[in-house]
Amino acid sequence: MPDTARPRPLPTSASYAITVRIYAKPSASVVGALATAVGHAGGLVTAIDVSESRADRITIDVTCSAVNGEHAQEIVEALRAVDGVTVHRVSDRTFLLHLGGKISVEPKVSLRTRDDLSMAYTPGVGRVSLALAAHPEDVAKLTIKGNSVAVVTDGSAVLGLGNIGPGAALPVMEGKAALFKRFANIDAWPICLDTQDTDEIVRVVRAISPGFGGINLEDISAPRCFDIERRLRAELDIPVFHDDQHGTAIVVLAALTNALRCVRKSLASARIVIAGGGAAGTAIVELLLAAGAANALVWDREGILSPDDATLNPAKQRLAELTNRHRTRGDLHDALRGADVFVGVSGPGVLPAEWLPDMASDPVVFALANPDPEVDVDAAQQHAAVLATGRSDYPNQINNVLAFPGVFRGLLDARAHDVTVPMLLSAARALAQCVTAEQLNAAYIVPSVFDPKVPQAVAAAVREAALGGVERDRGIE
């Protein structure tokens, strides 16, 4: 066995954690040998437990983290090679966590007696239903509607996995629902639709909308997602929020606000390059422009998006018209020369780290493709003044959970009917301000997702913006 641990190109991750059950002959040295084997294979031991001891055999559970599935198998083989041990079973901790799903429904009221049943269900519930038929404006107050969100997907653009369908998307939507509950005490329901027809999606969501206080569109491919959101916003009287667009945009704007503070530059003067003209890239551009950005270029597979490129689809044509006033053409390297900011929402490896010195001094680099960023993170750290990714194993994770729970908490509390740009800007401003001047530095431009102040601050900002909009609509200043 070699004397040094095998180097790994990426850090180990709890998402690839395994527990290996091993049978071994009783020995004082076997535990140390197992730990050494995992280390030499490049894994990270998190626990070694002797779960059973007999005169002829001990049972040992070795829990460790790997880089990916292939690496996990390498660790198992390294353990299997230790003298005197037998690998009995390998359990993937991530799959174990998902067994039976991650969410459930529980009653909020006692159902122990006949009186309880008569009030919660028939005949007492009939009185409430008749009251709501007469006063439908009270539905949100007397039902779960006032605290419920539908998390809707068609499975066409799930994480970085592509068009994997509604069944495969369900674990992601369950996770989203769990985050709603954990961070904002909102009851969210995963709705996975077995259709990718735009008209059908709009029809189904419209039909189920009476039971929800808001709609969170999730993992629907562009450009269909734009049309679906636009039509639902026009047809429904509850807020419709596409998290892949607006949640991402809120967190990027908040993070960029603080990153530019670190390098003493302003949003209005910064030259910004966005890699990726899909749902997230479009929303980021629109919110940055609304916040005061004045100089942006978008690069996608067609090159720098330019209004005079007749090959662009309508969504990218509009994006080009919003950004590229001088009709600049070229590749990503051309766009980056002299730029202050790079925001990547595209794909892995599109940005060679050796291009970063061609940016302006103290460049800000947001490489947000997940799980593999646009640029080699370790190499980029040598050049970027501020670096952010979508990964949890590097500083400055741009994570939508910083935004969407608080945004919907504020929308539901205000009984809002829609989502507006002022609400999004208010959410981004509140999120940025969760990092105090004393805390702010190049490695801390966004707060922790577990900071309880974050959803509260975002919710308060959205609620105030929503109620302020209602008052302005009524002529109240």
| Residues with a known catalytic role | 121, 176
Q: DSSP for 182-225?
A: HHH--EEEEEE-S---HHHHHHHHHHHGGG-SEEEE-S--TTHH
For residue 389, list its beta bridge partners: 367, 397
Bridge-based pairing state of the strands 295-300 and 58-66:
unpaired
* Peptide bond just before 210 cis, omega within 30 deg: no
H or E element at residue 22: strand 13-24
Residues 96 and 92: their CA atoms lie apart, in Å, by 6
Q: How many beta carbons lie within 10 A of that of residue 91, not counting itself?
A: 14
Cβ-based neighbours of 152, under 8 Å, separated by 6 or more? 191, 193, 201, 205, 215, 216, 217, 218, 220
The 10 Å Cβ neighbour count of residue 361 is 9
Give 420-458 as a 3 state SS string: CHHHHHHHHHHHHHCCCCCCCECCECCCCCCCCHHHHHH
Place of tokens 């302003």: 266
Query: What's at 245, amino acid-wise?
Result: Q
Q: What angle do CA 401, 220, 304 make, to 5 degrees?
A: 90
Token pair 């090679």 is found at: 81
Which of 296, 301, 271, 447 is closest to 364 using CA atoms?
A: 271
Within 8 A by CB and 6+ apart from 462, the residues are: 406, 407, 409, 410, 411, 414, 423, 426, 427
Task: Give the separation between CA 437 and CA 445, rounded to whole angstroms.
Answer: 10
Residue 293 tokens read as 């950005």
